[in-house]
Chains A and B, each alone.
Chain A
C-alpha cells in the first residue's frame, strides 16, 4: 500500500502559536488528576481569594470572561502552582503515597484515609494549610477524620 509511516497526528497537528508577547507567561500546573485531587483542599485553603476573584471576574464578564479574566487566571494558576511546589518540597513522600493510592483506588478518597492523614499532618506542620470541608453538620466529625470509613475496602483503624 502506501509507504507512509503510520503515525498518530493528534499530537503534532495542533495549533502551537503562542500567546501574544504582551500577555505574561505563566507555567501551567502540569499535574494530573490524582495529585490535584490530593492537593485540592490545600489549594483551596491557600488560593481561595484568588479563586473567588477569578470566578467573580468570570461572572461579571459573562460571555467575555475568557479574554478579560486572563490576569486573574494567571494568579489562580501561580497560586496553585506554589501550593503544589511547596507540598512537593516538604511532603513529597506522603504526597506521592496518597495520590498513588488514589490512582490505584479509582480516586475514591475514602479508600486512602491513612495516607491522607499522614499527608494532612505533614502539610499542616510545614505549610499551615488545613483540610476543612465546609458546611459539615454541627456536632459531627468531618468525614475525612472518621477513623472508621464504612465504605472502605480495607478497614483498618487509624
Chain B
C-alpha cells in the first residue's frame, strides 16, 4: 500500500486572513468627525449654560426689586395682628406681658380667630 503523500506541487496555501472589505471612512476620519460633533455639542451646551445664568440673574433681580414691597405688606399685616393681639390681651387680662425674654418681634405661632365670623 502506497504512503499517503502531499499532492504533486504541494498543498494550496491556507487562507488564514479574513477576507472582509473595510467599509466606511478611515478610522482617523471617523475619530475626527466624532471629535467635531462633540465640540459643537459642548459649545452649544456652554452657550446654553451662560444664557441660563443670565436668565437666573434676571429673575433674581426682579425678585430683589419686589422683596421690599412684599415684605412691607406682610410686616404691616403682622403688626396689625400683633397690635390686635395686645389690645385683646389688655382687654381680657388687664395687662400685657410678653412671654419672651427679649424685645424681638415674634411672629405669632397661633392665630386668634374671632368668635363671630366677619363678613
Interface residues of A (CB under 8 A from B): 9, 12-20, 26, 28-29, 36-37, 40-41, 43-44, 47-48, 50-51, 54-55, 58, 63-67, 69-70, 72-74, 76-77, 80, 109-110, 133-136, 140, 142-144, 150-151
Contacts and interface: CB of A to CB of B under 8 A. Distances in A.
B98 to A, nearest CB: 13
B12 interface: no
B48 A150 contact: yes
Contacts, number: 135
Interface string B28-52: 0000000000000000000110011
A67 B79 contact: yes
Interface of B: 47-48, 51-52, 54-55, 57-59, 61-69, 71-73, 75-76, 78-84, 87, 102-105, 111-114, 117-119
Contacts of A43: 65-66, 69
Contacts of B66: 36-37, 40, 43
A150 B47 contact: yes
A19 B58 contact: no
Contact of B117 (A9, A58, A144): A9
A15 B113 contact: yes
Contacts of B83: 17, 19-20
Given A40-B62, A109-B58, 12 more contacts: A12-B119, A18-B80, A19-B79, A19-B83, A36-B66, A44-B65, A66-B105, A69-B75, A70-B75, A77-B72, A135-B57, A151-B51
